[in-house]
Structure 1
């Protein structure tokens, strides 16, 4: 990457993450940008959005200000069809599909590039989304080998590769990727994103510049969630409780804007009916809500957990994050429900989420058992 001191860089993003972007822009300007960086932070706060900004800046060929957004390098970085620029988690049937070069002419069979492009298109459309990949998707050694196979085709241009949700690499993939990091090809840059950096090999982490992104302000969350509303949800769905529930994550706010209007009400009913012992009505409510998938079930229980935590905050006199929903929980009839009882209930919810994640028991059975157990000693 040949640079001059006259080139300035500008990476766009929320004000709350200015400090991290300034650090990156200085490295770009001074021609000391590392060949591998690891961007970590909570889900849905814009790690992939920043990764794409970095990729454009590295590949841009403009003479004075980068990224320009118009040159070939910028367009390649933003093109979902440039599948060589990404490594993304995929389900086993997708990652084992044939490569485009192995498919006969006229075949309608989906290739690995087809599956990959579909994922990239969703990310480019909305880099804050938290539900692009299924829980079963992962990064296999074949995907890493597919990445390295393209190294011979680079030519003389700068190449960037975004490894989305890098913590989903299995052991074989991680070891194969580590070998690549030990001897990175010239003018090649890896940008890894993760919300669980501790799940990555320490040897991979040690070879990357670490960059931690902070949660955004409530105003930034609301602005971004409204910007990406499109046809997925109405802007009015981004309520104060939805923003509070997101804890600084626009991706979570978007997800809950689509689901939380129902889930927030259901979580309040879950606690109220559990306290009163009206399990039949509660079980019918859960069935009507269609909470069957393990990932969806745990998203709902995150809302229940947040509600319980808000109840504890209220008992301690602290500001509430989801005030409207918390107000719907009537504990006045249950004076025995104190902060200790709420803490125990939170432990029960977390244990249930772990059981659901293990997939040994159906989510509905787990949630029904939780409803009976919740506040068991204080009812």
Structure 2
């Protein structure tokens, strides 16, 4: 595109490049700097300065006398509005971004002279000119958010918070996404969120978020009955704890429940976030403590955690440390299996309450307990119930 630069001198016009001090020049350019009575204009290739206050970002046509050849300083004789079509305009396509200043990411940062009235993170094509390290905007066309992540460019995800540590982990329905949130910014497990950040294509897609405004809470994960849930759902139900330890084993699912203390035999009611291989408690409570279970010594159910209560009628310990205790209640009895690891000594006529799984020992009814705290002697258990 030809530029509107002419020179009047020695009876005619010539280019600014060949102008000499004192000659008259007509120059069309964009004002890229103005402070006090000093302004700088550029047409995309050449730059001039004038001693006059102008409006930054506006195109002017200056008719003036060349006051300094090397510094290209014009003494203005006439200033009018200019036509941007006469400038050497460039186009930049990228993604709009705001981080203290406004940029186009391509993915390198291109600083803009002004912010655009568009959403942060969308694709944009900008027309304008460079001056120094800044691109001066004359016009732009906005697009949409990226549909697939590109390394180093903004990307928006929607999903459920699976882990609210550092990094935060989001489940978008297909995969896990790691998110590094702004300092001291926190999300809750099960939150459904919309997050905009700079994508890094590591083995796991990772987003770096630079502003709390780029994180929007749009709801909570959907709720499903236990057994019907998928990753990212909130599962709910009432189940019995069949084994406690690092996480709880429940009788209603193969998944372990974490972040809630309960004991073998307790019946709990819960809402828990489903992760890929586990559940994590969001809202859990014990609705029936194991102490309130019925005494099942007369009618234990196979494969269930039961409570048995009675007196020790006899005890036998084998050379390998394994032992048996016969627990009797009226006409009912059951064998209590005593693993060596329980480190438990019983005596005849002791009152015993035990919580374990009903099984058999040499075709005789038996109870197997998992830990020492699942056996109570007298009226007191060795392991007290934890507060929830």
TM-score, normalised via structure 1 length = 0.23
User: Which structure's CA Rg is the greater one?
Assistant: 2
Name the structure with the higher strand share.
2
TM-score, normalised via structure 2 length = 0.23
Structure possessing the higher relative contact order (Cα contacts under 8 Å, 6 or more residues apart): 1
